Structure formats: structure tokens, C-alpha cells
Structure 1
Amino acid sequence: MKTTRWTIKELQSLTTSDDGKVRREPDGIVTKVRAGKRGITVAFRYEWFAGGKKHDYSLGSWPKKTLAELRTERDLAKATVSQGIDPGAAKKAARIEAQAAIAATIAESERQAAENLTVTDLFEAWLIDGVRREDANAELRRSFAKDVLPVIGKKMIRELSKQDLLSVLRTAKKRGLNRTLVILNNDMRQMLRWAEKHKPWRGLMADGNPADLMTPKVLDDLKLLDADYNEVRDRTLSPAEVRELRDIFAKLESDYKALPKGQKYSGIRPVNQHVQCAVWICLSTLCRIGELLMSEWQHIDLEAGTWFIPAANTKGRHRKRKDNNVTLSPFARRQFEVLHKLTGATPFVFPNTKGDSHVYTKTVSKLIGDRQCRFKNRSKPLSGRQHNDTLVLAGGANGEWTPHDLRRTGSTMMQSLGVVPDIIDLCQGHVIEAPKVRGTYQHYDYAKEKAEAWHLLGERIEALLTADNVQEFRRA
């Protein structure tokens, strides 16, 4: 076996015929030539004797390392051996120490990252693992994006306090939306209660859940929630107000048409025909505005005068939802006929601007609310929206009205016409609670009685809108 040192020139001249050649250099380096798919390589090892046994240590290979690097590695190994330390064991220990240092660094980084988790981070985690609502959490995401995250989204959970939660409610209070405050307060409580039970959030709430300090007394003392915030709304439109609403629609249209050319876009526009039809349909069918705005032409038979409302479009828990088949009175059918001329070429009765879906289910409510701005507590008009009092009824004496109040008004009209409450509930699409045995044996759908009720209501509305004298509701 040769005991001469390798030279660069010799290494570069190696061929496959040199495969397996072993060379021992005089300074303890032993090499072996390997010819493989990746070309010619030379493995370098350092050998020494200790305790009567031969030991070796891999230095690496050429050409991955240069000759100078390989011999420097040998010098370090030799120095380590001279201290009675196995360089292989020393290298393994160094690797373990380095890995431990990396693991410690990662753990510290994760700890710091966890300590700096924000309300936005919690909200996103909660949406994924902590809450599942029927709209796939769409309304939660919208409300938090509007009222919560802009105020406290960047706040770290470990620093979150009662004052931060109050800031959210105070900011929303400025818009005069009291019911919104209740919803926001409840949703923030639910999110933080979930955080209390799950890592890493519960570890960040060492001082407790700040929502626990948001007691009714605190909210009441700060006048953040009105005393009647949880009361059921009972607004109905009187017959005089129904007539007044019809007259407002007509006057806005006539005033608009009478404007000189060039001024039509500077005054108050008339109420959109789609909105007018929606108003009269809600009143005459007792439907929810959301059910109407999600409706499709495939579910409406104008010739037969029927409207099918799928259970998926109705309100309530999934297991309690049910389809509703509405028989359209002549009055209600005429509203759909007007709409069909406007949107019949699309699948949706109220299509969005692209025509690929229905409009947002709160669109009509917002449009009607924009024309009752005295009740909105807005400092300035919203961009691209109406800002006037053209739809305020009875001079505002009875307060604001909403599309849902029309559903209540129509129900009250039916009641005054002698329709029994159970039939009114069925017309509204309510699920009537009954003993289980009744549901097992009684399957009559009261379609005839419902059709008669809708027909009576349609006649009552038409008479109301054409009569000279307006009388209040009275029980039949």
C-alpha cells in the first residue's frame, strides 16, 4: 500500500479502473477510490490506535471537499485524539448540542409567537374550530370585520381587557344600532368562553376572561345597552300608513317625471320598482324579506298563481325548517308579473348586478332604512346611498318601519278578517308545535284554508288602497 500523499493532479487523473484502490498517507490518512454514477470520488478517513484497538474517523470525500479542507479536518481530529477524546463522539455530541440549541430556539420562538397572539388570531381559530352557524359563519365574519377587528384586532390576547371590549361597544353605539350591540356583546363573550377552554388561548388569559367583567350593571351604568334592548318589536303599519306609503311611491315617481330635463339626477329619486314590488309582496304573502330576495323564477308559477319557498330559504334551525307553498292572491300575483317583466330573463326574481345570484338579503331593508334617516343617527350620508326621510310615515309619530313589519302588518290584517291563528302561522311558514303523536297521524296541509286566507288578505289590501276612507283594523 502506497504511503505517499495525494496530489491534485493525481486525483484528477483517476479513472474507473482505479475503483477500490486504497492508499495510506504517512500522517494517518487512509483513502479509498470509488467509481460510481456521479463520477470518481475519494473517501478520506483518519486512523489511530487507542487501548489496543484501531479507531477511524470519516474526514469526508474529494472533490466535495478540497485536499486542504480534508487535511485541516484531519488536524482537528488528531488534536482531539491527543486529548483522549474520540472525534466521532465529539462530533456527535456537537451535533446533538446544535440540535438542542435549534429546538430551544424554535420553542422560544413559538412561545413568543404564542404570547403575541392577537384577537384577530383568536377570531380566525374560533371560526375554524369553535363555532359553526347555519350561514357558514358569514354574518359573524362580516360583523367582526366591521365592528370588532378594526378596534381591537391587533390587541394581544394577554393584554385584552374589559376596557377594550367596551371600546368596541362604544364605537358601535355611535351608529345608534342598539340591537347590534347586544349581538356583538354576545358573540365576543362566546368567542372568549371558547378561548378559556383551549390552548394556547387559555394560557394567555392568566388574569381571567375580560368578558366576565362585562356585567349587565356595567353595561347599564355606561348606557351602552338600552333597558328595552331585548324586547320584541311589535310595529305594524296602520291602514292610513299603508295608504300613505302607496301615495309616497306614486308622488316620488310623478315628481321625478315632472323635473325639467337635466335635473332628473339632482333631486330625490323615486323608490326602485323592485323595492315597491317587494313591499307589497311582503305585505300580501306574509313572507320574510330574505325568502323573497332569494326566490327564483323556477319556483313561481304565474299562471297557477303559486310560489314555492324551499325550506333552505326559510329561517330557523335546519330540523325545524320546512317548505312553504304560497297561493298568490291576484294582488300578489300582479306584483310578481311586474317583476317578471324586469328580471324574467334571469333565474332570480331579484338578481344581483352580475345576474349569477340573488341580491344581498338585507338590500331592501337598507334601501328603506336610508329613506328614514332621522331614525339612523348618522352624521353624514353613506357613500352611494340615499339620505332622506321620504319613507317616514305618519310624520314619524310611530317610529321607523321595516320590511319585517309588513309581515306583521299582513298577519294582523288576516287576524282582523277572522282567520284563525294556526292558519296565519302556517301562512307565515311557522312550524306549529304539536304532540309527536299528532304529527305521526295527521298530515293534512291546510292548503285550501291557507289559499282562502291569502285571498282575503289580497282583497283587503286592494280595498284599502282604493277606498276613499281609511279605517283601522278591526276584528271580524
Structure 2
Amino acid sequence: MPKRVVSLTDLQIEKAKKQEKPYKLTDGGGLYLLITPTGGKLWNLKYLFAGKERKLSLGQYPAVSLAEARRRKEDAQNLLADDQDPAAIMSKQAKKQQQTAVVEAKQIELESTFEHIARAWHNKFFSTWTAHHATRIMTWLERDVFPHIGGMDIATIEAPDILAVLERIANRPALDQAHRTRSHCGMIFRYAIGTGKVKRDPTRDLFKILPPVNHGHRAAPTDPKEVAALLRAIDDYSGSYVVQCALKLLPMLFCRPGELRGMEWAELDLDAAEWSIPAARMKMKQAHLVPLPAQAIEIIKTLQPLTGGSKLVFPSSLSDTRCISENTLNTGLRRMGIEKHELSSHGWRAVARTLLHEVLGFTPDAIEAQLAHAVPDRLGRAYNRTTHIQERRKMMQQWADYLDGLKAGAKVIPLHKAA
């Protein structure tokens, strides 16, 4: 009579102690628990396949419980019933599971890197920035940050890691860019805090650790005689006519260079003498209305035969789907002999702000509204595109007339000096 095997119990397994030599606790059907001299408890299954005795490892107790070991034994017996070797089949399954686990672990690791989270942050806020600003941020990150800390788990990044990145940028030298990079990294870490990836922002430990930036002022002459000379130089510009028109409109409309470069024909209503810039293209994300003086309309109309078939008023010479670059405008100034310390394309805004108030006597409220600065009015109401619109229409035409007078050599006495 075959020896009757008594099934194991959890209590019996728990009480099993290690001995000098390995021993077995059998459960029946070929399933047994091997107790090693070091105290390990290993499940094994002994079976016959193709007339040969074989052994299959089923895992270690307690990770694999008694009930789970019996379930795995049944799976093996089902394979045997189908004339399949459990060791071969189950080892393949285990290998596949292991590979899947490795892939999943790598994916989790990838999703925790600074670069992955930075790109997720960028995608989330992309629509709130201008396309130029969004592209510039990613370019900075890819050039200056990702090569050094992009592959690190964001939770392991400390202040010294970020400081090393900032110092490389500052030593280029690009101190202003180093400050901007610290700010962007801080935004990324705060996004990571919100998504549960980290608990704190290490960039806060770097506050005021970099030397301050002396921004100074953008080159912007406010002497009417100097302004007149610059305007005459633009009239004599011998480069691209499209670029010359942009250079002429900048002092007349004193908008941000990026707003002018991206001007679209659909934004213009020449009959109403208006240019409506959508919020998406404005720095402050507020739609802006620019009253057009007669001189600006005349310049724009001369461009219609040249670029009217394009979406853009000032398309690039390389592609009509892209506008001319800011470098194109500044290069145009340099070609005329106007040096960087004399004027930048952005400097016309400061020229207009000063002369409109001190010479032409317009109110700061109207000037700030035309500059698209999001300053509430005296009643605390938020900025809107038609604020002071009637005064601005008058102001823009008088400003264009004033610039024409400067070029012609007219003498305009500053109101404040006259008083």
C-alpha cells in the first residue's frame, strides 16, 4: 500500500525550523517545501515528463503562499495533461513577465526624470505663451539643462545640481539667461510638486545666489534731432523693401517687434484704420487694438501686391509660413550704420513713451494703454483693448505727423520746457 501523504498546513510551515542539512515537507502530488540550512523555504514540484523525472521551482515562501503553490501545481498538471512540459512553458511565461516588469520599471523611471516632467510642464502651458516664447524656453532647456540633469530622477535633484547648471550658463557669459533658467526650473519643480513627483522646490535655496543682472535701459534716443536722423536713415535703407516697411512701421506704431513681425493680413481692417492683435500673440495675453495713422495704412497698402498672397504681412524670405526674425530687423539697423548702443528694434517704444508725453503732451494713461501695458485704470477696472481709444486714435495720427515733421526738419518745442 502506498504511503499516505498528509497535506501541509500554514502553521506547520511557519513552525518549520532550519537544520544542518536541507529537508522536505511534502504536500502531495509532487509538491514539496524545501527547508534549507540557512532557513530558506522553497516550493518545488516533482513530476514525470517523457519518462523522465523533472523538477520545477514554484517560488519562495512566504512570497508564494501555500494556496498559491497549490494553484501553480494545478497549472503545471494541466500542462502535463496537454502533453506539455511545465518547466519549459512556465519558464517562458516567467521570462516574459520579467521582461514586462523591466519595461514597466524603465517607463516609470523615465516618467520621473527631470526632462520628462519638464516636457510635460511645457506641453501643459504651451497654449498660454506666444509660439516664439514657448520655442525659446524649450531651446534653452534642451541646450543648457537637459544635457546635465535631464536624465536624473527629479526627486534626487538637489540645489547644488541646479547651481552647477546655472554657473555654466553664467560663465558663458549669460547671467540674465542663468536667472531665467533658475525661474523656469522653479516652475518645473512646482509643477512636479503638484503632480506628486517631489515634495519641495530646491531652486528656492538658490534665491539671490547668482549676481544680480544690471539690465540698464534699451538703447532709445529721445533727442528729436537724433530721432530725425534715424528716421531719415530708414528712408534711405537699401535692403529688402519688406524689411524697410517693417522698420518704418516700428517707430510709427511703437508695438513690440514680435507683434509687428507676426502681423497677419486677417488682423488688419484698413477701412476702419485698425489693427486687431489677438490675445495669443500678445505678451500679456490680452487682445490689443492699434489705431492706424494714415501713413501706416499707406505703407501697408504698398505691401499688398508683394505679400498679400501670404498669411503674413512680413513673411520670411525663406518661407512664407514664417515671419521675418527680430535679428532681421536689428541687422537692418546695423546695415544703416545704427549701432546697438544707439538703438534696438525694441527701443522705439521708449522713444515714443518719452516724446509723446514730454513733447506732444499726451496723458500717461493713453500712452500706457497704447503700449499694451496691463495697468488698471483709476477705477480699478482691468485693461481692455479699447481703453482710451478715442484719445489713442488722435495720438497715433499726431505721432505719425510729428515723425514726418522731424524728418522734414520741423522744429517742435517740448511742452514741459515751454511751460
| Distance in 1 separating the partners of 2:137 and 2:243 | 27
TM-aligned CA deviation for residue 461 of structure 1: 0.3
Kept in 2: contact 1:413–1:473 (CA 8 A): no
TM-aligned CA deviation for residue 276 of structure 1: 2.8
- Tell me which residue corresponds to 2:376: 433
1:184 aligns with 2:177: no
- Tell me which residue corresponds to 1:246: 231
Kept in 2: contact 1:243–1:464 (CA 8 A): yes
- Tell me which residue corresponds to 1:424: 367
The residue correspondences of 1:119-158 to structure 2 (distance < 5 A) are: 119-128=114-123, 133-135=128-130, 137-154=134-151, 157=154
| Distance in 2 separating the partners of 1:154 and 1:437 | 47
* Aligned residue identity for 1:410: A
Secondary structure of the residue that 2:255 maps to in structure 1?
coil
Q: Tell me: CA distance 1:330–1:98, structure 2 relative to 1, closer, same or farther (3 Å).
A: closer
- Tell me which residue corresponds to 1:228: 214
- Tell me which residue corresponds to 2:287: 322
Structure number with bigger Rg: 1
Percent identity reads: 22
Secondary structure of the residue that 1:316 maps to in structure 2?
coil
Question: Deviations along 1:347-406, whole A, 9 cap, x unmatched?
Answer: 32112447653516xx1x32244478xxxxxxxxxxxxxxx675435xx6xx35332221
Secondary structure of the residue that 1:433 maps to in structure 2?
coil
The residue correspondences of 1:11-410 to structure 2 (distance < 5 A) are: 73=49, 75=51, 88=74, 90-91=76-77, 103=97, 106-107=100-101, 110-111=104-105, 114=108, 118-128=113-123, 133-135=128-130, 137-154=134-151, 157=154, 160=157, 162-173=159-170, 176-196=173-193, 198=195, 201-202=197-198, 210-217=202-209, 219-220=210-211, 226-229=212-215, 233=217, 235-238=219-222, 239-249=224-234, 253=238, 270=239, 272-302=240-270, 305-317=273-285, 321-326=286-291, 328-353=292-317, 357-359=321-323, 363=325, 365-370=326-331, 390-393=336-339, 399=341, 401-410=343-352
Where structure 1 has 5 or more consecutive residues not aligned to the other structure, the ranges are 1-49, 57-71, 221-225, 254-269, 373-387
* Aligned residue identity for 1:193: R
Count of residue correspondences: 350
Q: Tell me: CA distance 1:339–1:453, structure 2 relative to 1, closer, same or farther (3 Å).
A: same
Kept in 1: contact 2:229–2:407 (CA 8 A): no
| Distance in 2 separating the partners of 1:173 and 1:389 | 30
Kept in 1: contact 2:220–2:342 (CA 8 A): no
Q: Tell me: CA distance 1:340–1:150, structure 2 relative to 1, closer, same or farther (3 Å).
A: farther
Secondary structure of the residue that 1:457 maps to in structure 2?
helix
| Distance in 1 separating the partners of 2:246 and 2:94 | 69
Question: Deviations along 1:64-112, whole A, 9 cap, x unmatched?
Answer: xxxxxxxx736358999xxxx9964654797889867765665466546
- Tell me which residue corresponds to 1:462: 404
Kept in 2: contact 1:302–1:333 (CA 8 A): yes
Kept in 2: contact 1:368–1:391 (CA 8 A): no
Where structure 2 has 5 or more consecutive residues not aligned to the other structure, the ranges are 6-28, 30-47, 57-69, 79-85
Q: Tell me: CA distance 1:148–1:300, structure 2 relative to 1, closer, same or farther (3 Å).
A: same
- Tell me which residue corresponds to 1:260: none
Kept in 2: contact 1:329–1:455 (CA 8 A): yes
| Distance in 1 separating the partners of 2:416 and 2:137 | 42
TM-aligned CA deviation for residue 167 of structure 1: 4.3
User: Alpha carbon RMSD of aligned pairs, Å?
Assistant: 4.7
Could you tell me which of 438, 448, 451 is aligned with 2:393?
A: 451
Could you tell me which of 332, 354, 360 is aligned with 1:412?
A: 354
| Distance in 1 separating the partners of 2:226 and 2:258 | 23
Question: Deviations along 1:132-175, whole A, 9 cap, x unmatched?
Answer: 63347444323322332345444565764545434433443455
| Distance in 1 separating the partners of 2:385 and 2:154 | 54
